[in-house]
């Protein structure tokens, strides 16, 4: 699988990454090489194999629906680049 510069720009948009045309060129090469490695998997027939999502056969635990954490909003907001009145600030989304 060889990716084009167009493909790279599309994937970059899905991942919300800004990629310049220059970067896209290098990424075409690198990502195509990685996909070349990945495609070695095509050599093995897996049609009857149950996919394995997780290393241990375990079920999601449930816990009682109780408050267990204290209010630490200010601590969590401390790392935000812009916060005010307990809210994260972003550019205007709705006029």
Partner 1 sequence: MHHKTLAELSAGLAAGEFSSVELTRHFLERIRAHDERLNSFITVTEEQALAAAEAVDARRAAGEAGPLTGIPLAHKDIFCTLDVRTSCGSRMLDNFVSPYDATVVERLAAAGMVMLGKTNMDEFAMGSSNETSCYGPVHNPWDTERVPGGSSGGSAAAVAARLTPVATGTDTGGSIRQPAALTGITGLKPTYGRCSRWGMIAFASSLDQAGPMARTAEDCALLLSGMAGFDPRDSTSAERPVDDYLAALDRPLDGLKVGLVREFMAQDGLHSGVAAATEAVLEELKRQGAEVVEVSLPHAHLSVPAYYVVAPAECSSNLSRFDGVRFGPRCEDPKDLEDLYKRSRSEGFGAEVKRRILIGAYALSAGYYDAYYLKAQQVRQLIAQDFRVAFEQVDLIVSPTTPDVAFPLGAKTDDPVAMYLQDIYTIAVNLAGLPAISIPAPAADGLPTGFQMIGNHFDEACLLNVAHRLQQATDWHRHAPEGF
Q: Please pick, from the candidates 22, 56, 65, 84, the single residue that binds partner 1 as defined by CB under 8 A.
A: 56
> Cβ–Cβ contacts within 10 Å for residue 43, how many?
6
Q: Please pick, from the candidates 21, 85, 90, 95, the single residue that binds partner 1 as defined by CB under 8 A.
A: 90
Distance of CA 69 to the CA centre of its chain: 27
| For helices 21-38 and 5-14, angle between their N-to-C axes, nearest 10 degrees | 90
Give the single-character DSSP code of 83: E
Contact call for residues 8 and 24 (beta carbons, < 8 A): yes
The radius of gyration computed from the CA coordinates of the chain, to the nearest angstrom, equals: 22
Tell the smallest beta-carbon distance from residue 65 to partner 1 (Å). Answer: 14
Write the binding mask 16 to 55 for partner 1: x where contact by CB under 8 A, - elsewhere: xxxx-------x--xx-xxxxxxxxxx-x-x--xxxxxxx
Binding footprint of partner 1 on the chain (CB under 8 A): 3, 8, 11-12, 14-19, 27, 30-31, 33-42, 44, 46, 49-56, 58, 60-61, 63, 72, 75-76, 78-82, 88, 90-91, 93
């Amino acid at each position: 699988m060889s990716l084009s510069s167009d493909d790279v720009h599309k994937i970059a948009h899905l991942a919300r990454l800004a990629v310049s045309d220059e970067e896209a060129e290098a990424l075409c090469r690198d990502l195509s090489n990685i996909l070349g490695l990945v495609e070695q998997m095509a050599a093995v027939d897996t049609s009857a194999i149950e996919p394995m999502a997780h290393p241990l056969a375990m079920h999601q635990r449930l816990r009682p629906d109780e408050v267990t954490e204290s209010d630490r909003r200010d601590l969590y907001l401390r790392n935000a680049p812009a916060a005010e009145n307990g809210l994260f600030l972003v550019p205007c989304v709705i006029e």
